[in-house]
Structure 1
Amino acid sequence: MHRIRTVSTFIGRWFALIVLTAGGIALAAPSVFSGLTVAIPWLLSIIMLGMGMTLRPADFGIVARRPWPLLLGVAAQYIVMPLLGLGIAVALDLSPLLTAGMILVGASPGGTSSNVMVFLSKGDTALSVAMTTVSTLLAPLLTPLLVLVLAGEFLPVDPGALFISILQIVLVPVLAGLFLRMLLPRMVEKLLDILPLVSVAGITVVVMAVVAASSSTILSIGILVVVAVVLHNSLGYTVGYLIGRVFKLPIASRRAISIEVGMQNSGLAAALAVAHFNPVAALPAAIFSVWHNVSGSLLASYWSRKGVPVAETPASEPSRTSA
């Protein structure tokens, strides 16, 4: 298990570079990897199962103890990022498919690596875990509704089909993982060190599939999409932090909300885009998968050096290890 833990740490540290390299390989040989799109929903289901296995009933305690920061953070997650995605897409005059892709990224729940980033940044990890969990559980209802309202004018949206897909890809696997940990805690504990490897492998294949299937779009307007994604992610961090500041939350809570709002479950967005729209619509999600891990690591490193006031230092540790 020590070797597995060492490998997991190494891969987690170089995750962004691994995914970026894999995307480059897929772009160079798109015909080899484009057929992988059919596996995207299954890969995301496995990653979500792993996320569920890292949860414990105690993780939900913050809902009762500190509902206000949690409600504020989740509301920011589902209001700020979808509107930013739409606004940036319109400002940059992206195509309808890419606009839908930006909205999908924004309307997705928090990213599974956000908890580790919050912990490294000396933020409120318990709040981060609760935000990721609650936003994920709300995704079957809120994500289809937001996509219908914001993207419906650009192309046809079937909210019912999106709802079913999110149930299958997210909610059922997460709940299954949670029940597995409750029923077989010793077995699941032994698997926790492997979960980051599974997450990295799954996201890597998702990125390769999306890049290969939309290679012609990348080669023609790839830089513009990168600019859109960087703006989306950066503004998410900024607005998330400012919301916490306006409502006078502690610095540790502001950092948690900032990272949770800025980092999205882009793998889910890619899966939904491929299944219900077109691989081109999944391109923002594929780029987001790489970029938000780079930016999240940089932000966490910066905040970890700044520290927080002693009275606010969080004592909690991240309860999940998924990348």
Structure 2
Amino acid sequence: MDGALTDVGLPIALGIIMLGLGLDLTLADFRRVGAHPRAVVVALACQLVLLPAVCFGLVVLLDLPPLLGIGLMLLAASPGGTTANLFSHLFRGDVALNITLTAINSVIAVVTLPLITSLAIAFYDRGDDVSMPLVEVVKVFALILLPVGLGMAVRAARPAFAARMDRPVRIASAVILAVLVLGILLAEREDVGGYLRDVGPAAALFCALSLLVGYAVPRAAGVTERQAIACSMEIGVHNATLAIFVAENVLGESEIAVPAAVYSLVMFAFAALWGSWVSRRVAPQPSERASTSAT
């Protein structure tokens, strides 16, 4: 990818997205775990343990090339983001649970993302040419956590301003991700056809499995429908911008960013189709009934 986009554009893009996440958060979101302990524990177990295991199975089963396999594992280790909260809102999920999961996952990922990615690098024995230096990892998560903290401070001091900025920041996040995906595909245009053949089926299958597992496992554990939809979106809609940033600025390999870019192409369509189907199982809330009868 172009040096200016990688060195300047990507950090700014990730900072804007994480600032937007912070504008949605309060300290109460971290404390809310006690209100929904089962849903939080089950969702975190799916996202931190089960989904990376499923992803690794796909990587091995489909015999992905090393850098693409590492990239898909990096994506699996990336937490959910503000887009997951939006999809949960659209399809009658428990958005408060989404916000709590995103908050907790963004902190836990400081440890789990480099750990899972390093294990993938070791599996492919690519430690000589691909590595995750500790200093760079610290910089990445400073870039994640500082804007989140700033957003939370703004939310606490100026809640009306934070509410007004919610929609513009969400739109900016979607546009930023689209630009990043386009940039990656253009940078890899000579090989993009082969990459799509190699990683396209794996990315699509992983997305479908993420959404399905994120719903079915919590439901089997006794979680409510609305909470299960929230878990499904949180687990299936990854922070692809973070995965792209790590691939480009930490690992220094555009090819590792390709799975996140391809996943982004199918993620929105799959989440919308899945959400429209599964939300039919949830009874409208009183406010929704009132607005419907008013029209």
TM bin, normalised by shorter chain, reads 0.7 to 0.9
Residue deviations 1:237-277 (CA, integer Å, cap 9, x gap): 12222211221212222222122111111110011011233
Of 157, 173, 178, the residue aligned with 2:147 is 173
**How far apart, in 2, do the equivalents of 1:248 and 1:199 lie?**
34
Worse-superposed segment, 223-232 or 185-194: 185-194
Of 46, 53, 74, the residue aligned with 1:104 is 74
Question: Shift in Å at residue 43 of structure 1?
Answer: 0.9
Structure 1 residues 70-219: aligned runs within 5 Å = 70-154=40-124, 155-156=126-127, 157-158=131-132, 160-161=134-135, 163-219=137-193
Give the corresponding residue for 1:36: 5
What fraction of aligned residue pairs are identical, expressed as a percent? 29
**How far apart, in 1, do the equivalents of 2:231 and 2:162 lie?**
29
**How far apart, in 1, do the equivalents of 2:48 and 2:190 lie?**
31
Structure 1 residues 232-311: aligned runs within 5 Å = 232-277=206-251, 278-304=253-279, 306-309=280-283
**How far apart, in 2, do the equivalents of 1:314 and 1:232 lie?**
35
**How far apart, in 2, do the equivalents of 1:296 and 1:136 lie?**
21
Question: Shift in Å at residue 61 of structure 1?
Answer: 4.0
Q: Which runs of 5+ in 1 are unaligned?
A: 1-29, 317-323
Question: Shift in Å at residue 162 of structure 1?
Answer: 5.2
**How far apart, in 1, do the equivalents of 2:109 and 2:136 lie?**
10
1:226 aligns with 2:210: no
Q: Pairwise CA RMSD of aligned residues?
A: 2.2
Residue deviations 1:53-77 (CA, integer Å, cap 9, x gap): 1223333342121222112211211
Compared CA separation, residues 63 and 235, structure 1 to 2 (3 A): same
Native 8 Å contact 1:45 1:170 kept in 2: yes
Alignment TM-score, normalising by the size of structure 2: 0.87
How many residues were matched structurally?
282
Question: Shift in Å at residue 42 of structure 1?
Answer: 2.2
**How far apart, in 1, do the equivalents of 2:259 and 2:51 lie?**
13
Compared CA separation, residues 121 and 256, structure 1 to 2 (3 A): same
- Residue type of the partner of 2:248? V
**How far apart, in 1, do the equivalents of 2:202 and 2:165 lie?**
37
Compared CA separation, residues 118 and 185, structure 1 to 2 (3 A): closer
Give the corresponding residue for 1:10: none
Compared CA separation, residues 290 and 184, structure 1 to 2 (3 A): same
**How far apart, in 2, do the equivalents of 1:230 and 1:308 lie?**
26
Native 8 Å contact 2:196 2:262 kept in 1: no
**How far apart, in 2, do the equivalents of 1:43 and 1:314 lie?**
38
**How far apart, in 2, do the equivalents of 1:116 and 1:181 lie?**
18
Q: Which runs of 5+ in 2 are unaligned?
A: 289-295
Native 8 Å contact 1:165 1:272 kept in 2: no
Question: Shift in Å at residue 110 of structure 1?
Answer: 0.9
Compared CA separation, residues 292 and 261, structure 1 to 2 (3 A): same
Alignment TM-score, normalising by the size of structure 1: 0.80
**How far apart, in 1, do the equivalents of 2:133 and 2:208 lie?**
28
Question: Shift in Å at residue 140 of structure 1?
Answer: 1.0
Of 39, 43, 64, the residue aligned with 2:34 is 64
